[in-house]
Structure 1
Amino acid sequence: MQKLTTSSRLLKHARQLADAVPAILLAAMFVCFIIQVFMRYVMDSPVGWTVEVCVIAWLWILLWGQSVSATEADEIRFDIVYGSVGPEVRRWFRMIFSVFLVGIYMWSLPALWDFVTFMKIQETSYLDIPFNWVYSIALIFSVASILRYLWILWTAAKGQDAPATTAEAASRKDGVE
């Protein structure tokens, strides 16, 4: 029983760390924005590296957040259709959508790998970061998305319902169906 507790504790800490990455990057963007405003308007000497940090951080926030931090309940759905059908049809929607997305991501993965590894020949303008490091988040995004949608496919095929979205949970709490 102790192993299960330790394992679940490690999983909880890993989830918290994964969720902290976008928050840390957003804080870095804010600090860079303040530095840029100060340097431009107070010191009259704008710096370019802050813009570079903001663009890279924003790319990582979007792709990391969607692939690693977001849960299935956080995903955007066409609720008009999805919410108007029964649980069995929703389960089929999840399975079809998962197969479709896994196929697209797996099909594009070799070309994405080629692109990211090719980009090691260029560096960012100010910080001299190789672009393969900047774009490596696209590989993380693709692999994590493949694993996520395989998991969704597996749970849907086993007959499990999708987790309630925030809006669904709120409407149930208010007594609205």
Structure 2
Amino acid sequence: MTHKLQSGLVWLKRGVDAVGVLLFLGAFTGFLVQVFFRYVLNQPLAWTEEAVMIAFIWTVFWAGAFMVPIREHVTFDVVYDFAPAKVKRFLALGTMILLVAAFAILVPYTFEYLEFLTRKKSNVLRIPKVWIFSCYLLFLVAFAIQGIYRIYGLLRPDWRDQI
């Protein structure tokens, strides 16, 4: 990989991380505003609850898609941890192939559901629901691409680095 490309990827990763941090800060700030208005001023705000929910949904899917490396996602690794390296490779390949296939199958259904949501808006902020839930499609595609990249790494001669 050239130095210029590697430098660009570092900046892209920083940008992606910054977006995730801003999404989380938005959710947290909205939560604090909500608590202050509800319990200090005794005047609850309707929009903060919805804004926090939207920011939280985006934060979770954004982080899952771009910030958490695929090998650090939640796993059931009781058998995997005790297996020899070749079995780990086989298990990792199998699970990645299944995940990529499942996510690929989900993409058209997600498009269909998002198309259905184009006519609906959130109750308070009136944001089109397609914008609220499109982060799921982003997650599906980004995670599948990471899965394909991991499969590629597991099929290379230096596959032990992927375990």
Deviations 1:109-141 (A, max 9, x none): 111101012201011112111000011101101
Could you tell me how far apart the structure 2 residues matched to 1:139 and 1:77 are? Answer: 22
Could you tell me how far apart the structure 2 residues matched to 1:75 and 1:36 are? Answer: 31
Residue 108 of structure 1: how far off its partner (Å): 1.4
Q: Which amino acid aligns with 1:35?
A: V
Residue 21 of structure 1: how far off its partner (Å): 2.3
Partner of 1:161: 160
| Residue correspondences, number | 162
1:19 counterpart (17, 20, 23): 17
Q: Which amino acid aligns with 2:31?
A: F
Residue 72 of structure 1: how far off its partner (Å): 2.8
Partner of 2:33: 35
Bigger mean CA deviation after superposition, 15-24 or 132-141: 15-24
Residue 6 of structure 1: how far off its partner (Å): 2.1
Residue 97 of structure 1: how far off its partner (Å): 0.5
* TM-score normalised by length of structure 1: 0.84
1:45 counterpart (23, 43, 46): 43
Deviations 1:72-131 (A, max 9, x none): 331233332111111111111111111101111111111110101220101111211100
Residue 163 of structure 1: how far off its partner (Å): 4.6
Partner of 1:58: 56
Residue 20 of structure 1: how far off its partner (Å): 2.2
Partner of 1:146: 144
Aligned residue for 1:22, secondary structure, equals: helix
Deviations 1:10-69 (A, max 9, x none): 100111111222221121112111211221223322111111111111111111111111
Could you tell me how far apart the structure 2 residues matched to 1:132 and 1:27 are? Answer: 22
Q: Which amino acid aligns with 1:54?
A: V
Q: Which amino acid aligns with 1:161?
A: R
Cα RMSD (Å): 1.7
Could you tell me how far apart the structure 2 residues matched to 1:28 and 1:158 are? Answer: 41
Could you tell me how far apart the structure 1 residues matched to 2:30 and 2:88 are? Answer: 44
Query: How is 1:70-149 mapped onto 2 (pairs within 5 angstroms)?
Result: 70-149=68-147
Could you tell me how far apart the structure 1 residues matched to 2:84 and 2:10 are? Answer: 32
